[in-house]
Each structure stands twice: as C-alpha cells, then as structure tokens.
Chain A
Amino acid sequence: AQKVTQAQTEISVVEKEDVTLDCVYETRDTTYYLFWYKQPPSGELVFLIRRNSFDEQNEISGRYSWNFQKSTSSFNFTITASQVVDSAVYFCALSLHGSSNTGKLIFGQGTTLQVKP
C-alpha cells in the first residue's frame, strides 16, 4: 500500500527563522514521484516541486530546499528565513509510475505553517 505521512500538524515560527517540514512515504514500487504543494488561504494548491525516485540530488530554489533520502523514505522541505507570506498549508504527495497511472496523487495530511511577524 502507498501512504504519505506528515507528522507535523501545525508549526508556528517567527519571521526569519528556518523551518523544516517533514514527509515520510511508503511504497513498494521502485519508480515513483514525490511532490510538494502549497495551499494558501485562498484555497488553490500551488505546485512547488516534483522529484522522481531515481534522482536523489537535493534541490534549492531561492529560500526553498528539498532533501530526498531514499534510505529513510523521506522528502523533507526546508524554508530558510521564513516570511509571513509563507503561512499556508503544505502538502507532500506521492504518485506512482506506469501505464495504469491516471495521475492519482496520494496526499499527506498537510502541515499548517504559521509565520508570525
């Protein structure tokens, strides 16, 4: 069975602090994709990143960075020097590869991040 766990339900930090959002996944497939989405108060989920299971290279995009560790089945997301605009719900998701894959994403419960001024 496939599953995504985001153990942190809510995190509160003060502006300019660094914060890491944890994501642990379960799958027996060897080929899969991992995603992070951001859901601001307006409601729509916004795509942040997609990584495939063969690419363990960490990625940095501005203040955002992602640490993919297959050995621990984790795909953690770090925001450096957080800002109030980073306040949102963040979702980690898993998608399997293959011809039968209809694009189904398996989402974690989400982590609500509050950045206080």
Chain B
Amino acid sequence: ETGVTQTPRHLVMGMTNKKSLKCEQHLGHNAMYWYKQSAKKPLELMFVYSLEERVENNSVPSRFSPECPNSSHLFLHLHTLQPEDSALYLCASSQDTGPEKLFFGSGTQLSVL
C-alpha cells in the first residue's frame, strides 16, 4: 500500500454539488497538506495541519473546507465550486512541519462543470 492515498482519483461535479476529497497517510506523520495544481501555474499551498490542528490557511475561499479528524486522515470538503477551481488537488504529509521532505499522493483530478 502506498504511503499517501487519495480518493477519488477523478471527480466531475456541477457548481451546486457538494463533494469531499479524502486523503490517508500510512507513514505515521504528524503534518498533512493540501496543494492545488492548476494548468500552467505553480503548485499552491492551500492548508497545513499539524497534529490535527490547522496551522496555515493560505487565503483559500470558504467554498473549500478542510477537515483533519486525526493525524492519518485529511478531507477537503467542496461546495459551490467554480469552473476555475478545476485542477489537480494533491495531498501530502511530512514527519513534522518545517522544511521537511514531503510525501505526496497521486492527487484527485477535479473538473467543475
């Protein structure tokens, strides 16, 4: 089993739908992250959790709502998205926060119609 698992791999949703992205890490790490990868733009950090506490919210619109119920699981709840939110959403984990090596999942390719 891979270290960081994301589901679903692909998601198509309408602008009025509510959906959730799931991330699970099997590495015993204390920090988890959500990154957004849009076409022709650098990866953007969205949220950082350390020991289930959110330590960074990088000016992300409220239509994205993260949840970290424990140090192994991270969710991204989506509501009333816009077509420009279509992107690859990558989850990552690291032993702790700081300039650590990140372990990434394969991402969820999201399309908002």
B-contacting residues of A (Cβ < 8 Å)?
A: 4, 32-33, 35, 37, 42-47, 50, 52, 91, 95-97, 101-110
Q: Once the chains bind, are A45 and B50 in contact (CB under 8 Å)?
A: no
CB of B106 within 8 A of CB of A44, answer: yes
Instruction: For chain B, give the interface size range.
Output: 20 to 34
CB < 8 Å: which of B48, B50, B109 contacts A104? B48
Expressed in whole angstroms, the Cα–Cα distance for A101 and B104 within the complex equals 19
Between-chain CB contacts (< 8 Å), 16 pairs: A37-B102, A37-B104, A43-B90, A44-B104, A45-B90, A45-B104, A50-B101, A52-B99, A102-B56, A103-B33, A103-B98, A103-B99, A104-B58, A107-B42, A108-B42, A109-B40
Contact A102 to B101, CB < 8 A, known contacts A43-B107, A109-B42, A110-B42: no
How distant is the Cα of A104 from the Cα of B50 in the complex, in angstroms? 12
Cα separation A105 to B40 with both chains bound (whole Å): 17
Minimum-distance CB pairs A-B, first 7: A33-B99, A95-B99, A43-B106, A103-B97, A45-B104, A107-B43, A107-B42
Chain B residues within 8 Å of A, Cβ to Cβ = 2, 4, 31, 33, 40-43, 45, 48, 50, 55-56, 58, 88, 90, 92, 94, 96-107, 109
Identify which of B33, B55, B97, B102 gathers the most chain A CB atoms within 10 Å of its CB. B102
Q: How far is it, in angstroms, between the C-alpha of A107 and the C-alpha of B43 when the chains are bound?
A: 6
